[in-house]
Amino acid sequence: MKNKKGFTLWLTGLSGAGKTTLAILLTTELRARGVRIEVLDGDEVRTNLSKGLGFSKEDRDTNIRRIGYVCRLLSRNGVGAVSAAISPYSAVRDEVRHAVEQDGAKFIEVFVKCPIAVLAERDVKGLYQKALAGELQGFTGVSDPYEEPIAPDVIVETDREPVEFSLSKILQALEQRGLIPNVEQSRPRRVRSVFPSVGEGLRRNVSVDWRGRSRILNRLFLKRPFQKQVRTRA
């Protein structure tokens, strides 16, 4: 079954919050359901579509507008587009939403939320620590603004939730809007989050209801630690 309606799923959040990991998992699940889907990752876009842009506010806005334009083209032609970029400024995110919806497609904003303290612990490059110490300027969320969504369609908290639970919330939002086919609910599974946790209370198994192909996700992601490279700015 192919999705008849295109849509844009916009993952926004700070560097290291888990946007790319969720985008990969979403792509795996949605393609398994027969949905046509494409992912625009912030780092890949900067390497290909936005090569040469810097990190001034104007250049950041241009980068997000370019991602939004591609998402708009895909969405209006019946393809699901997933954007995984920091996209720090709310005005440009709203601009992209308006452009997508003007073409008759749906725009779903997902806030991938995670505290700075947790992101600093995940950061193998130590960029957050440098930014917090004032040694690195222009770092989004520390020395450069990140404007949190005021009313996102979905909020996932990657420091608290197992990844399957975060994923299920996003899939449910797409199902409720009739954008992807429903699948029969499987029995609850006990899994560990692939996101590094902080505090003993976060190192627990959590029982969640999961839709889809858990075996595929377990094999691909849940048997190895989270090794996402930190994005400095997108």
DSSP states of 151-167: S-SEEEETTTS-HHHHH
Q: Is the dihedral of CA 38, 42, 47, 51 positive or negative?
A: positive
Q: How many CB atoms lie within 10 A of CB 54?
A: 12
Residue of 15, 83, 87, 166 marked active site = 87
Tokens 């939320």 label which residue? 113
Residue 75 annotated to the active site:
no
Residue type, 182: N
Kindly state the helix (H) or strand (E) to which residue 168 belongs, with its residue range: helix 163-176
Q: Point out which residues pair with 40 in neighbouring strands.
A: 83
Q: Would you name the residues annotated as active-site residues?
A: 87
